[in-house]
Amino acid sequence: MSRNKSIQRIFSQVPKTYERVNHLLTFGLDILWRKKVVQYAIKKGGSRWLDVCTGTGETAVYLSQQASENKYVFAVDFTLPMLQEAVRKTDAGNIHFSQADARKLPFPDRSFDLITISFATRNLNLNHEILIQTFMEFHRVLIPGGWFVNLETSQPRNPLIQKIFHFYIRALVQQLGYRISGSNVGYAYLARTIPRFYTAEELSNILIQAGFKTVEISKMLLGAIAIHAGSK
């Protein structure tokens, strides 16, 4: 089975419980982190915003709630059951959803003022080269001066805190995720990818290699979570 198909299979198993597990594992903090992404969006401005790998659309809905009348929020994901959960949301009515692969976005060059992604870059990191190419695809559909805002787990710099963070992920994520969602493979995947992901500085370099100019980094939870904002 291709990597894309196995990722789609994993996310097809969890849409109903996906947000509940996230809120439990982060003690509700993921809601604050998503809202911080929205603050970035408001600060960076523009009228056409795209949320890639939108999943059940939680960040896209927060973007849409804050978007004024002349703003358009688009959202894409390649897993249909996640998108079906997203479109069902009461506040999703103004969002333009489509099923698409983030590596080959169905939009012309310079279509968006801002692109967001939350907790999905690990899935796009099939390898270092593929991640650079995917970020280049985001760069392609941004206008010059547009921004890409990336919310993702990261690596605490302090080795002891990093150990505690990885222990928490290994000990709890798979167990709790499985108990609530019934998907063992889904949360085993999550527990595996988080400790292997890049440091904030490594990810910043990857963004620069993909063509982004200025990269701002904002670290949260002692560096376990980071927002990167890169400009075209």
- Say how many C-beta atoms besides its own lie within 10 A of residue 129's C-beta: 9
**Centroid of chain to Cα 114:** 14
Minimum CB distance to ligand SAM smaller for 27 or for 70: 27
Q: What is the closest distance, in whole angstroms, from the C-beta atom of residue 33 to ligand SAM in the complex?
A: 9
Give the bridge partners for 118, in sequence order. Answer: 151
Q: Which residue in the set 24, 94, 101, 211 belongs to the binding site for ligand SAM (CB under 6 A)?
A: 101
- Can you read off the two tokens belonging to residue 173? 């994520």
DSSP letter for 199, please: P
- Can you read off the two tokens belonging to residue 145? 């001066």
Separation in Å, CA 190 to CA 12, 118, 170, 186: 14, 14, 9, 7
Q: What is the closest distance, in whole angstroms, from the C-beta atom of residue 99 to ligand SAM in the complex?
A: 8
How far apart CA 42 and CA 179 sit, in angstroms, is 37
- Can you read off the two tokens belonging to residue 231? 């400009």
- Can you read off the two tokens belonging to residue 125? 């990191």
How far apart CA 223 and CA 164 sit, in angstroms, is 12
Q: What is the closest distance, in whole angstroms, from the C-beta atom of residue 159 to ligand SAM in the complex?
A: 27
**Does position 226 bind ligand SAM by CB under 6 A?**
no
Q: What is the closest distance, in whole angstroms, from the C-beta atom of residue 130 to ligand SAM in the complex?
A: 9
Give the bridge partners for 142, in sequence order. Answer: 112
Stretch that binds ligand SAM, among 90-98, 114-122, 139-147, 191-199 (CB under 6 A): 114-122
**Residue whose C-beta lies closest to ligand SAM:** 55
Q: What is the closest distance, in whole angstroms, from the C-beta atom of residue 150 to ligand SAM in the complex?
A: 11
Q: Which residue in the set 103, 140, 166, 219 belongs to the binding site for ligand SAM (CB under 6 A)?
A: 103
Region 40-59 residues binding ligand SAM, contact defined as CB under 6 A? 53-55, 58-59
Q: What is the closest distance, in whole angstroms, from the C-beta atom of residue 7 to ligand SAM in the complex?
A: 5
**Does position 118 bind ligand SAM by CB under 6 A?**
yes
Residues that bind ligand SAM (CB under 6 A): 7, 11, 53-55, 58-59, 77-79, 82, 101-103, 118-120, 123-124
